[in-house]
Amino acid sequence: MATNSASQAPPTYRKKQSSPNSSRCDTMKRMRLLAVFLALAATLPAQSLGDLATTYFKDLLRLDTSNPPGNESRVANYLKKVADREGIPAELLGDNPDRLNFIARLKGSGKQRPLLLIAHSDVVPVDRAQWTVEPFTAFEKDGYIYGRGAEDDKHLLAAELAVLVDLARRKVPLDRDIILLSEADEEAHSGGAKWVVEHAWAKLDAEFALNEYAYILPTASGVPVFQIQTAEKVPTRFKLVAHGVAGHGSLPRDDNPVLHLARAIVKATEADQPVALNATTRAYVQAISTLPDYAWLRPLLPKLEDAATSSATADEIRKRDPEIAAMLRFTVSPTMLNSGFKINVIPNAAEAQLDGRRLPTESTEEVYARLRKIVNDPTVDVLPAEEPMQPATEPSSLTSPLYKAMESVFKETAPNALVVPFLMRGTTDGAYLRAKGMAVYGVPIFRKDGDLRLHANDERMSVENLKSGTALLEKIVLKVAAGR
């Protein structure tokens, strides 16, 4: 080991003059070294699209974003780290540091307007005592990954992220930008989507969007039904408040508000509601009735179009398939009751809350006027239970390039497939985008397994379903954004 003392002068160095021969030698060495690295890289297994989605899926499930309180920034920050690592421009949006939204953009040539991929980051709460596994550990067993959000909506978020990263890594030429938006608070008040629409709409300059809540429906005949969600019913939650005179329970009274409330609930729930088909529901029932599984529906179609028989026909359909029936008209489900404080005291008021879901063609005023006529009791008020949530919107086009691309991919994947538009009984943040004129589609890339568990205990997604769904999503994106 050499030493250096203060008395010694530091050594001086002269730059060695390189000869042309040595320069060529250095170049050859670098080329040989590069060849070695390339050979090594070729022997390393590339992470497949499905494996990428599985990794992201597990990571997302481990982030507890139960709403309330949300804490969706946990997901937003995770997505930002992934995007930064992959060189995809991204940013966090919002005014609450704990509940941020995430947006990323993979650039294309700009020949066409962007494609938007959306998936919310929050999940509904869990009752841990009812789960057989820990809900935020991404527990894997028998080919399934368990966790809150596995079917709503972290499976779709993982698939969308995997597709974005895969296209970026492969440097696939794109005709349009691909935007990924993960919004907060979908499960409660849609605060994230509303904030983005109100404050950052310019960042969502997309022609159309792919969204959640659509499935591949298996049938007994073996024909897979790809249900593309093109429309949503509108939450119209209301309450019935009955008024009476308080008294002792030993003396029955005709003005007992509990009695009046009970009668009003039955009336509101069992009343005949008008049937109204739109472009989506008409196309759906006509297409689905061609399957052997739904042959019973075929003779009922003309009756659905006739105002004199449509309501009774919807009742008949409800006995066979409640899901189809719920698409056809306004529905009511009593969900909450509040009355009294002691068993031997008749209260002076009683209240029920009901979950109403109206068709996008109906107005709030129209529905409330009809309900008051149905209840027809001066002691019972029909009142809104909450402020209006998602806006009513027209169904998205069945002829857009994105709809046609999905149709094409599904037919290529399963030549015997039936591809149909679908009206969602519930609602998503997509309603806010549709209200701004954007075509939004729930994309059916995942199979609807027999024991669908979204919002339920032991929520799960099979690895095979996740991987095949992600591959299907990439095919759709390539078809509409890369012309493949």
131 phi, psi to nearest 5 deg: -95, 145
Q: In this structure, are 76 and 167 located in the same domain?
A: yes
Phi/psi region, residue 447 (left: phi>0; alpha: psi -120 to 50; beta: rest), is beta
The answer to whether residue 5 sits within a structural domain is no
Q: In this structure, are 273 and 323 located in the same domain?
A: yes
Task: Measure the CA–CA gap between 68 and 97, rounded to whole angstroms.
Answer: 15
What pLDDT was estimated at residue 117?
99
For the record, the structure tokens of 298 come out as: 């075929």
Bridge pairing between strands 460-462 and 345-346: unpaired
For the chain, list residues with pLDDT below 70: 1-46
Dihedral of alpha carbons 319, 323, 325, 331, sign = positive
Q: Compute the chain's Rg from CA coordinates.
A: 29
What pLDDT was estimated at residue 152?
97
Q: In this structure, are 302 and 431 located in the same domain?
A: no
In single-letter form, the type of residue at position 314 comes to: A
What pLDDT was estimated at residue 484?
84
Of 343, 364, 384, the last residue of a domain is: 384
Q: In this structure, are 379 and 396 located in the same domain?
A: no
pLDDT more than 70, % of the chain: 90
The answer to whether residue 25 sits within a structural domain is no
Q: What is the pTM for the complete model shown? A: 0.87
The single residue listed with the structure tokens 């070729």 is 42
Q: In this structure, are 423 and 476 located in the same domain?
A: yes
Task: Measure the CA–CA gap between 147 and 461, rounded to whole angstroms.
Answer: 9
User: What residues contact 447, with CB distance under 8 A and at least 6 apart?
Assistant: 215, 216, 218, 465, 468, 469
Q: In this structure, are 200 and 86 located in the same domain?
A: yes
Three-state DSSP class for residue 127: coil
The answer to whether residue 53 sits within a structural domain is yes
| pLDDT tens-digit readout, 5-32 | 333 333 333 333 445 454 444 444 344 4
Give the CATH number, domain containing residue 304. 3.30.70.360
| pLDDT tens-digit readout, 407-429 | 999 999 999 999 999 999 999 99
Quick one: angle between helices 401-413 and 463-481, nearest 10? 130
Task: Measure the CA–CA gap between 483 and 410, rounded to whole angstroms.
Answer: 16
In single-letter form, the type of residue at position 280 comes to: T
- Tell me the average pLDDT of the chain: 91
Task: Measure the CA–CA gap between 306 and 289, rounded to whole angstroms.
Answer: 18
Strands (E), 55-136: 90-93, 101-106, 115-118
Q: In this structure, are 189 and 99 located in the same domain?
A: yes
Q: Which domain holds residue 188?
A: 49-218+225-230+392-481
Of 350, 384, 418, the last residue of a domain is: 384
Of 356, 384, 412, the last residue of a domain is: 384
Select from 475, 427, 469, 466 the least CA-distant residue to 188: 427
Give the CATH number, domain containing residue 64. 3.40.630.10
The answer to whether residue 141 sits within a structural domain is yes
What pLDDT was estimated at residue 451?
80
Q: In this structure, are 187 and 290 located in the same domain?
A: no
Let me know: does 90 contact 102? Beta carbons within 8 Å: yes
Q: In this structure, are 150 and 77 located in the same domain?
A: yes
Q: In this structure, are 70 and 208 located in the same domain?
A: yes
Residues in the chain: 484
Task: Measure the CA–CA gap between 394 and 20, rounded to whole angstroms.
Answer: 73
Q: ∠ CA 237-241-244 to the nearest 5 degrees? A: 170
413 phi, psi to nearest 5 deg: -70, -45
Dihedral of alpha carbons 407, 409, 412, 413, sign = negative
